[in-house]
Amino acid sequence: MIDTQESMTAKLCSFARAYHSNFGKQKIFDDFLAYDLMGKEEYEEIGQLIEHDFDPAGVDPNRGFNGTRVYPELNRYISPIPLSRIAFAEEELARFAETKGCCQYVICGAGMDTFAFRNENPDIQIFELDHPDTQRYKLERIRQLEWTIPHNVHYVANDFAKDNMVDILKNAGFAPECPAYFAILGVTYYLTLPIFEQTIEKISQLSCQGNQMVFDFPDETTFAAGGGGVHRVRQLTEITARLGEPMQHGFSIEEIRQALLRHGFILDRHETPETIQQHFFAGRADEQRAFENIHFILAVKKERVQ
């Protein structure tokens, strides 16, 4: 199963959303609450980390960071994946909710996701599933900000290494017989396929026909010689390894398709690097462009697998 304790790469993604919302000229996704939830201290810390080539030793809590040095690195290596994948996931969620009316949205490894406070649709029941420590930290930040938690938001603590997410979600009010949309973003990079498939299996147990699941994954070129000949891909794998969170594996689309089929899901939509580029990055004036090895998947539950 997935392990979603707060990670440095997750903080980088939060920083990317916050920085893009505050300073991005052509918005891919406007997470206008990301900075507030992250907080100035952590925001400055991550900015310095990027400024010092992702070396934690360069972080000084008594000063800020140089945005002109951070911005190019952020656009080249960090922002493209988290901005485009959350935009894709929430676009598909909006379509799902419009079609189904009342529905449930399960965010696996929610981290500092802000959808619960940006959402304007009261017919979406939101379940934030996360490691107890990460969730405790987030709830404390919400308390400090004096935000009111909406009535349709459920914080569900779950240690993915020990707990059964099926039972825990049901106990939190999740209804398997009702329409549900599951998001598993930024997870597959750090897992082998058999481990990720355990999560697919659990979601299948919670799903009725028509439910949807969205996730992103790195393809099989990720660990080819020189990152499949792409310098930027190689650099990103080196950055995550330097932060103590090495990427584990890349998958072929056929491996993904077969893993989904084994648990009653079919691949409904496959966004390739080329279509991600067209959808989210065409005509941009900055250096942001889709990563050459990253794909987005929307899968639909067709049958219950016993």
pLDDT in tens, 191-237: 899 999 999 999 999 999 999 999 999 999 888 765 455 788 888 98
Residues of the chain with pLDDT > 70, as a percent, come to: 95
pLDDT (tens digit, 9 = 90+) per residue, 88-109? 999 999 999 999 999 999 999 9
pLDDT score for 2: 41
Q: Sorting pLDDT into bands at 50, 70 and 90, what band is 112? A: very high
What average pLDDT score do residues 19-31 get?
95
User: What average pLDDT does the chain have?
Assistant: 92
Please say if the pLDDT value at position 267 is more than 50.
yes
CA-atom Rg of the chain in angstroms: 19
Q: Is-above-0.85 flag for pTM?
A: yes
Indicate the burial class of 286 (C-beta count within 10 angstroms; 0-12, 13-18, 19 or more).
Answer: middle
From the CB of residue 136, how many other CB atoms can be counted at a distance below 10 Å? Answer: 13
- The CATH number assigned to the domain with range 81-301 reads 3.40.50.150
pLDDT score for 23: 93
- β-pairing, 294-301 vs 265-271, is antiparallel
Residues of the chain with pLDDT > 90, as a percent, come to: 74
State which H helix or E strand residue 204 sits in.
Answer: helix 193-205
Ordered by start, the domain boundaries in the chain are 8-78, 81-301
Q: Flag the least confident range among 3-12, 46-55, 66-75, 98-107.
A: 3-12
pLDDT score for 262: 97
Query: Between residues 243 and 102, which one has the greater pLDDT?
Result: 102
Please say if the pLDDT value at position 5 is more than 50.
no
Distance (Å, rounded) from C-alpha 108 to C-alpha 182? Answer: 7
Distances (CA, A) of 158 to 98, 169, 194, 295: 29, 9, 20, 27
pLDDT (tens digit, 9 = 90+) per residue, 75-92? 999 999 999 999 999 999
Q: Quote the tokens at residue 283.
A: 């005509």
Beta strands in 114-261 (DSSP E): 124-130, 153-157, 180-184, 212-218
Query: Between residues 144 and 58, which one has the greater pLDDT?
Result: 144
State which H helix or E strand residue 261 sits in.
Answer: helix 253-261
Please say if the pLDDT value at position 68 is more than 60.
yes
What average pLDDT score do residues 6-26 get?
91
pLDDT (tens digit, 9 = 90+) per residue, 177-187? 999 999 999 99
pLDDT score for 62: 81
pLDDT score for 3: 43
Query: Between residues 161 and 266, which one has the greater pLDDT?
Result: 266
The 124-130 sheet, strands edge to edge: 153-157, 124-130, 103-108, 180-184, 212-218, 294-301, 265-271
Distance (Å, rounded) from C-alpha 246 to C-alpha 240? Answer: 5
pLDDT score for 304: 57
Please say if the pLDDT value at position 244 is more than 90.
no
138 closest CA partner among 14, 50, 21, 22: 14
